[in-house]
Structure 1
């Protein structure tokens, strides 16, 4: 039996549903009254697991909106805005273009097509998928099978990670696995094997014999999690909860290392007052070497104070994927995470805030954030035995 909290989360997805797709929030805030690729696909994954036909149709329309506004070169929009006269305004990113939208789009199309057994929709979207995959390959730049991501080029759009960011590599791997499951091709199979090997070898200390950056790799300290990024300047070794959660979900690494990641994540989660994972850890402070990079990386106003937003803030959405990622290994952890997500989403009379201050526990950002509700729905349905196409 679905509880009140679950039903309220589903109600919020209905409130953000439009004929063109899911909005980021039901709040009348201009930047959130748009069809966002990332938010829309995550809401759509929740809709598929829930099974509500109206929400599933909104997901389909989200994907169509993104496909219809794909750039000639293959970019999937960061977001699409429709004014009162249905005039379209398309954004491919702010201070930098968004790289992760292509992978999210492919994941969304494949999950929708698989769940709904709609091969005709996959055929309709396949040219857009091929164009997106080609652009991701071009973004490797040196054909090393790792996408190069500019700072601000993914969901952490005001954070400091750049280069071969771990999250983007794993997300692309998920996208490749999804399309291979539905339209198998030998070249995609080979790409999956190569990308898997290179990700597994480059983002944790070990004995990999052909690292991307041999000098930086030789200096890399042992870590109990996948590190966040590697670039020509070396490694950024902070803990990225989203990237590590996706890696666990895709079962990257051997069992021993997966258990190390979970052990690290659990010790961190339980040490914090919200009993959930922060987006990145540890926070960058004014005394840190990276503060200047962080404080200047905002288009309008600075929001990444320590323990807020990407700089150590706590997001229901990120923790939804963490709960999903550990459910096969330890369902008790997933249940604990679900209950804490419910508590966050319920705060301020079911405010579904964007994120929370990790120390003082105060809500931050926009209210009625659709992917905060989606996180609760996804993890609840995973606990009931539903699954994504992975």
Structure 2
């Protein structure tokens, strides 16, 4: 490949490779020098898209590491750090990470699909079954949707909790990926049940019994799916990752998906970076959710308006948005997103920052963030080689 942006992203993924799998950052920062479930799988998806055998092998090691350290109750590690014979495993900080479980299942199945090797799924069948049983238990009320604690997924310092859209959609992707191999009617029915509940509770003018009828009727679902709801009501911010997954997985009516596309394309055009913010609009100090936001951090507060989860722009999130655009035949818009991702990734001589302030355009977080590079690789290959994941 002659594309320098792609070449630099590939170099970063190689630098973030270790004997245990993909590290979150190529820089020697303790909390990022670990194999993380979601980061590792997303980097692994990029590895598959690239066709690079060394990176694909690192993906396999990532999945091995996660499987070896699965908790007996089925929980997949949020992250694993190995130092010689010492292994340090975390299943989450202030709360457990629900999305580690779904990303793991997605990773196993995407690897097997790429390799055309169903035996890889069989090898991890017991691990997968534990994951699926745990996800069933996390419904709590056995009505189809996962109940996610505050701080329970990638947006671990944000305000989403309860029935979080992103986690429901990841579960659908995980079940679809697994059922490509398992071909079980019970899983097909489960996918249909979850899809129906998403469409009833997260889309406008839906027919069916709502989880929270009063709260549903109090909000105006119009242009996109709200990010979450709980017994306390709906959180109505636009979640770029979740709505990208909804488009990618083809969830919701054709008309409503068109509304999501229109809203998201207009939003990214309005932003200085020409990227979608992770959540929009930002929560300001005068907003009712500010106290919830400012207290949800284990160390220092980072979610100032337009930064991190609170309206910050992430290459990784926009990588999935680009895949969604490409899947909807919005090729020119997908290319624009790739160019905008590459523009931020090459700031400070290709420092691949974690995220950017959506207003000032200044970088935030950790440099040499592996999944920032993964975004370039996934989208580049989708556009230029028509690479497709199993969806």
8 Å CA contact 1:177, 1:192 repeated in 2: yes
8 Å CA contact 1:205, 1:217 repeated in 2: no
Partner of 2:143: helix, strand, or coil? coil
8 Å CA contact 2:144, 2:194 repeated in 1: yes
Q: Which residue of the partner structure matches residue 10 of structure 2? A: 10
Q: 1:18-43 deviations in whole A, cap 9, x for unaligned?
A: 11100000111000000000000000
Q: Which residue of the partner structure matches residue 344 of structure 1? A: 344
1:327 aligns with 2:326: yes
Partner of 1:158: helix, strand, or coil? coil
Q: Which residue of the partner structure matches residue 389 of structure 2? A: 388
8 Å CA contact 1:202, 1:208 repeated in 2: no
Q: Which residue of the partner structure matches residue 275 of structure 1? A: 274
Q: 1:171-190 deviations in whole A, cap 9, x for unaligned?
A: 00000100111111111011
Equivalent-residue separation in structure 2 for 1:165 and 1:208 (angstroms): 20
Q: In angstroms, what is the RMSD of aligned CA positions?
A: 0.8
The gaps in structure 1 that reach 5 residues or longer are none
The gaps in structure 2 that reach 5 residues or longer are none
Partner of 1:81: helix, strand, or coil? strand
Question: Number of residue pairs matched?
Answer: 389
Partner of 2:10: helix, strand, or coil? helix
Equivalent-residue separation in structure 1 for 2:8 and 2:269 (angstroms): 27
1:43 aligns with 2:43: yes
Q: Which residue of the partner structure matches residue 65 of structure 2? A: 65
Equivalent-residue separation in structure 2 for 1:58 and 1:29 (angstroms): 20
8 Å CA contact 1:140, 1:146 repeated in 2: yes
Q: Which residue of the partner structure matches residue 302 of structure 1? A: 301
Superposition pairs of residues 161-240 of structure 1, within 5 angstroms: 161-240=160-239
Q: 1:71-128 deviations in whole A, cap 9, x for unaligned?
A: 0000000000011x23100000000000011110000000000101222221111110
TM-score (normalizing by structure 2)? 0.98
Q: Which residue of the partner structure matches residue 159 of structure 1? A: 158
Equivalent-residue separation in structure 1 for 2:368 and 2:327 (angstroms): 30
1:354 aligns with 2:354: yes
Equivalent-residue separation in structure 2 for 1:11 and 1:182 (angstroms): 33
8 Å CA contact 2:202, 2:221 repeated in 1: no
Q: Which residue of the partner structure matches residue 263 of structure 1? A: 262
Q: Which residue of the partner structure matches residue 375 of structure 1? A: 375
Equivalent-residue separation in structure 2 for 1:233 and 1:205 (angstroms): 19
* Stretches (4+) displaced over 4 A: none
Equivalent-residue separation in structure 2 for 1:69 and 1:48 (angstroms): 23
Q: State the 1:328 CA deviation.
A: 3.1
Q: Which residue of the partner structure matches residue 56 of structure 1? A: 56
